[in-house]
Structure 1
Amino acid sequence: MTEADVATKAPESDAQESPIPGDTPAQTGPTMGEHCTTDRPTPAGEAPKGEVRKLGGVDVYIAKPESYPTNPSKLLLLLTGGTGLKSTNNQIQADKFADEGYVVVMPDMFEGDPAPNSTTVPDAETEGTSFLETVKLKAAETAKSFMIDMWLARHTEEKVMPLLEKVFHACEGEFADAVGNGGGIYAVGYCFGGRYILLLASERTPASTGWSGAQKPADEEAGEGQGPTKKGPYIKAGALAHATLVSPDDFEHLQVPVSLACVEHDPMFPDDVREAGEDTMSKTNVEHEVQVYPGVPHGFAVYGDYEDANIKDAQATAHEQMLKWIKEH
């Protein structure tokens, strides 16, 4: 898939209602929508400052503080939405965390296969069209939704978690000073990457997850008479914004502090899932915070320009929320 397959603009009109007007079928449930797979315009004068290279055999974008390694830093993993590694906005977002003193590693979780453009045709474009043209437009929307579903089938937990493990091991080697200085690895995630913050913050067994990766069968790995080996948590603390594909079960095994920036009435992270997660975290005494932002679209916290001042303010506030959380932990 070429970079042209990934859109460069996402609308902000869906901040007003829920479900979002003009959404594809994929956006009516907890999957992915166009704000997960498209970028807002990049603010004028902004450009990435880091580099794309291999780390542990995985393509990553790396952003470092100007004073590193002379001055101590900490290691932060940034997990993106469907726009992935080559998104200019994602790279600038990584740079902003680097400006705060973090060595930021942003892995290509999709191995060169960013999400297809899910932009739909607004109702205004269908006005004045013939019935046949309207049918064709709706068919195109259905096809785009199908493409998203097929893309999700290619990027499952079984594929993504082993890739992230490679990155963790490589970071512990190349950036051992930053990992040691922070007492572990911190992580932030957006949209698709948001759910993986919960997974990385958990202690899990093969039986409690669909991810098998390259693990041996539980009886071989643990030995006779022992239970299956547990994995995780991989991070010291995590923060996530408007996650997708999250289920209540993803909160069951959390072990480290997590911060959630959520959208009010978000069809891709429904209120009932969020509330179930809050109940679980409270019952299991997991340190957490949850901030719900009204009147903003799913994907608002990903760096990019908006005309609506309320969305701009919410984006800045969510960034400060996530930054403050990892700094305090």
Structure 2
Amino acid sequence: MEGYSSCCVQGFNWEGTPEGHETKLGEANTYVTGSNPDVAVLVIHDLFGWKFNNLRLLADHYAKEANVTAYLPDFFGGESLPFDIIADQARWGEVDIKGFIGKNTRDIRRGEIFAAAKALRAQYKRVGAVGFCFGGWAVFELGAKGVDLVDCIATAHPSLLTKEDIDKVGVPVLVQAPERDAVYTQELKDYSNKVIPTLNIPYEYHFFPGVEHVFAVRGNPKDETERKAMLRAKNSTVSWLKQWLHE
């Protein structure tokens, strides 16, 4: 289970009704929200998949506040972890994270993630990518030098990220790092801050004290520290997308 831990399934479900609709992006079932004909954002989900309400609500915010069309495709072949266990630590043991990840490795899912990005690149003038947890490694690959599929990337508490991914990034990158993260480790945080500033690309690293892995997508809105961190993460992602996707 390298690259993941029990913290990947913790958190809270948010209230709210998504405003977009379901369609297809290539072969992938996809949640779409927004109507900008020129600017798109590919949102790459965490372990709870494309139907997770919290992510759909975030996609709605990006669409409205950053003036983009946001796409949240299914990259788990119709499967996802059960939403109702998120806030029940006693049930975390029911989740076979190792087995689930074994069916959704980087090598297995890379092709369809790149296919989705290529479909957006063919249709839109500007494309960004935002990834959480599982989606973190993917946005770095999409934003690697020479790939030319996205114009900027943003990630919060990425999983499965490697130093090689960090070495290769070639587009403006926003990293949102919680204080406590067993997956995006202090070693990777330090490496990001050492290497990315040498790559001659715009880079912002935002540190979030008092919160932990998955805060940006599954924080507790009733906890003031977590609520403020979630709001800050959402706002900074919106600002990043506006800056790099709108000329």
TM over 0.5: yes
1:266 aligns with 2:181: yes
CA contact (8 A) 1:77 1:188 kept: yes
Equivalent residues in 2 for 1:1-329 (5 A)?
30-34=3-7, 36-37=8-9, 40-43=12-15, 46-65=16-35, 68=36, 73-100=38-65, 101-115=67-81, 141=93, 144=95, 147-173=96-122, 176=123, 179-180=124-125, 184-203=126-145, 232-302=147-217, 305-329=220-244
SS in 2 for 1:104: strand
- Write out per-residue CA displacement over residues 264-303 of structure 1, whole angstroms, 9 at most, x where no aligned residue: 1311111111111221112222321111111112111116
Measure the CA separation in 2 of the matches of 1:292 and 1:56. Answer: 36
Q: 1:211 aligns to what?
A: none
The gaps in structure 1 that reach 5 residues or longer are: 1-25, 126-136, 204-230
Q: Which amino acid aligns with 1:112?
A: G
Q: State how far apart, in whole Å, the 2-side matches of 1:86 and 1:54 are.
A: 14
**Contact 1:201–1:255 (8 Å) recurs in 2:** yes
Counterpart residue identity of residue 109, structure 1 = F
Contact 2:11/2:87 (<8 A) preserved: no
Aligned length: 242
**Contact 2:31/2:72, CA 8 A, preserved across alignment:** yes
Q: Give the TM-score, by structure 2 length.
A: 0.88
Question: What's the offset of the Cα at 1:120?
Answer: 9.2
Contact 2:19-2:60 at 8 Å conserved across structures: yes
Decide whether the 8 Å contact of 1:50 with 1:64 is kept in 2: yes
Evaluate the alpha carbon distance shift between residue 41 and residue 165 of structure 1 in structure 2; reply closer, same or farther with a 3 A threshold: closer
Separation of aligned partners in 2, 1:172 and 1:198: 16
Gap regions ≥5 residues in structure 2: none
Residues in 2 aligned to 1:57 and 1:86: alpha-carbon distance in whole angstroms: 16
Q: Considering fraction of residues, name the structure with more strand.
A: 2
Distance of 1:172 and 1:282 partners within structure 2: 27
C-alpha spacing 1:76/1:120, structure 2 compared with 1 (3 Å): closer
Query: Alpha carbon RMSD of aligned pairs, Å?
Result: 2.4
CA drift of 1:198 comes to: 1.0
- CA offsets, 1:23-55, max 9 Å, x none? xxx5xx641434x34662322xx2011111212
C-alpha distance in 2 between matches for 1:240 and 1:248: 15
CA contact (8 A) 1:30 1:270 kept: no
| 2: CA distance, partners of 1:255 / 1:274 | 18
Distance 1:314 1:121 in 2: 22
Larger Rg computed on CA atoms: 1
